[in-house]
Amino acid sequence: MLYNLHTHNYTANSDIFEVVNRYPYEEIDVPYLSTGIHPWYIDIDKLEEHLAIIDQRLGMNNCLALGECGLDKRIEIPLNVQQEVFEKQLLLAKKHQKPVILHCVATYQEAIAIKKQLKMEEPMIIHGFSKNAQVAKQLLDNGFYISFGKYLLRNPELSAVFATVPNDRFFMETDTIEEGLELVYEKAATAKNIEIEELKNIVSNNFKTVFKNG
């Protein structure tokens, strides 16, 4: 079994366990999902409505995580507004004891600070990681998990970064890419210099550790 931490495209492939992103305004049309307010799509007028939907969904067994949610310095929505929305969602993750799938763009320091400030004990996973080994180490040192996908396929230098991540702290994903999850696993196994079967076992164990009912 392959595990896809984060995708927007449900494939219904019986060999893949998929955590499919469904925003609060999207229907639940998949077996397992995560739900949250992406910083790009913050709608202040509907914030309370969306938070109520997230609260309700996080209480469901098949809603495995909060997310994707997070912070992004490259958009026009002010960072203080993003932080307020992010923190409200994190409190819901704490309430329901669910992991968090994070969108972070140029905001790793802020994410680390908020994690400490709110004393988050729930697993927090940076999705779509694309940075260097120094950033990866800082995140790992602060208790984050890291998920790899698109950039592992696109950026040859990221393989060396991925190779430094401890085996109990990473996930695989496809997000919105057209390439299949199998390709991501192949690239990751090559980077770690291990067989695909071993990689599958590693990710499976990580999934069961973090999601409890994976």
The predicted-structure confidence for 36-60, as pLDDT tens digits, reads as follows: 999 999 999 999 999 999 999 999 9
What's the predicted TM-score (pTM) here?
0.97
68 marked as part of a ligand binding site: yes
The residue extents of the domains of the chain are 2-211
Q: Is the dihedral of CA 175, 14, 124, 56 positive or negative?
A: positive
Cβ partners under 8 Å of residue 126, min gap 6? 102, 104, 108, 111, 139, 144, 145, 146, 147
CB 140 within 8 A of CB 167: no
Residue 108 has pLDDT above 60, yes or no: yes
Residues 18-37, mean pLDDT to the nearest whole number: 98
- Tens of pLDDT along 148-171? 999 999 999 999 999 999 999 999
Residue 112 has pLDDT above 90, yes or no: yes
Residues 108-131, mean pLDDT to the nearest whole number: 98
127 marked as part of a ligand binding site: yes
CATH number of 2-211: 3.40.50.1240, 3.40.50.620, 3.30.70.2660, 3.20.20.140? 3.20.20.140
The candidate with the shortest Cα–Cα distance to 38, out of 49, 47, 28, 27, is 47
- As a whole number of angstroms, the distance between CA 49 and CA 61 comes to 21
Q: Would you state the pLDDT for residue 214?
A: 45
103 marked as part of a ligand binding site: yes
Residue 120 has pLDDT above 70, yes or no: yes
Other CB atoms within 10 A of residue 177 CB: 19
Residue 172 has pLDDT above 80, yes or no: yes
84 marked as part of a ligand binding site: no
- As a whole number of angstroms, the distance between CA 37 and CA 160 comes to 32
Q: Would you state the pLDDT for residue 188?
A: 98
**pLDDT class of 212 with cuts at 50, 70, 90:** confident
Residue 213 has pLDDT above 70, yes or no: no
